[in-house]
A and B are shown apart, each in its own frame.
Chain A
Amino acid sequence: MIDVLYFAWVRERIGVPREQVETQARTVAELVEELKGREARYAAAFADVSALRAAVDQDLVDDFSASIEGAREVAFFPPMTGG
């Protein structure tokens, strides 16, 4: 089981801020594919992955080929707008 977190409009489209997911995915990209196969709201949220960023165990990943093996949490969100 892995905790999957969503922020900003990704959270709004999926409808929950976090959930536990049973997954065999080894990378962020594989997890995205699994989630997209679940329901329309996931497909809508992940339709354009170039508009998304991800963090594995609270570290931003450079691209979605990043491993999630052994990770506790994976987060998906749009580009950040701090400051």
Chain B
Amino acid sequence: MSAGRVIVQEAPFEPADVLRDFARGRGDVGAVVSFTGLVRDADAGPLVTMQIEHYPGMTERAIGRMVETAIRRWSLADCLVIHRHGEMRKGEVIMMVATAARHRADAFAAAEFLMDYLKSRAPFWKKELTEDGAEWVAAKEADEEALRRW
């Protein structure tokens, strides 16, 4: 088992490169699952830019705990979370989760668990800038409910 990895950065990254390195040279796992989150248009209309604020220190700590839990609960061989902050444009990659396990059910479940927790328990706040102005994205009740299944 690995300790997993958490990366919080402003710079863009290429998910295909990250995934290739994550999966490379592994004989211990039969499954690698990844999720990539992209910036999309705001519900209010076309997006100009998105700004993501975070809480340095707490962010790494909170995600680190989620990763530890996922590794233990689904016996993951490895786990990676990359999440960006700062300003980004439509279509840019915001974040990525990758999990590696012996069997796919564990890799899928762990990735979903991490996504549900990242949504409402990692200290990030999104602000959408459209032609009508800037607005903080409101948390959704459904995101909170999604945590109950775990």
Pick from A8, A59, A83: contact of B53, CB below 8 A: A8
Known contacts A58-B61, A83-B37; decide if A7 and B123 are in contact (CB<8 Å): yes
Does any Cβ of A come within 8 Å of B107's Cβ?
A: no
Residue in A closest to B137 when the chains form the complex, CB atoms: A81
Bound-state Cα–Cα, A83 to B61, Å: 16
A8 & B115 in contact (Cβ 8 Å cutoff): no
Per the CB 8 Å criterion, the residue count for chain A at the interface is 17
Most buried by B among A5, A77, A81: A81
Bound-state Cα–Cα, A8 to B51, Å: 10
B115 & A80 in contact (Cβ 8 Å cutoff): no
Bound-state Cα–Cα, A71 to B74, Å: 34
For A55, list chain B residues within 8 Å (CB): 55, 58, 123
A77 & B37 in contact (Cβ 8 Å cutoff): no
Chain B residues engaging chain A, CB cutoff 8 angstroms: 37, 53, 55, 57-58, 61-62, 83, 94-95, 115, 118-127, 136-139, 144
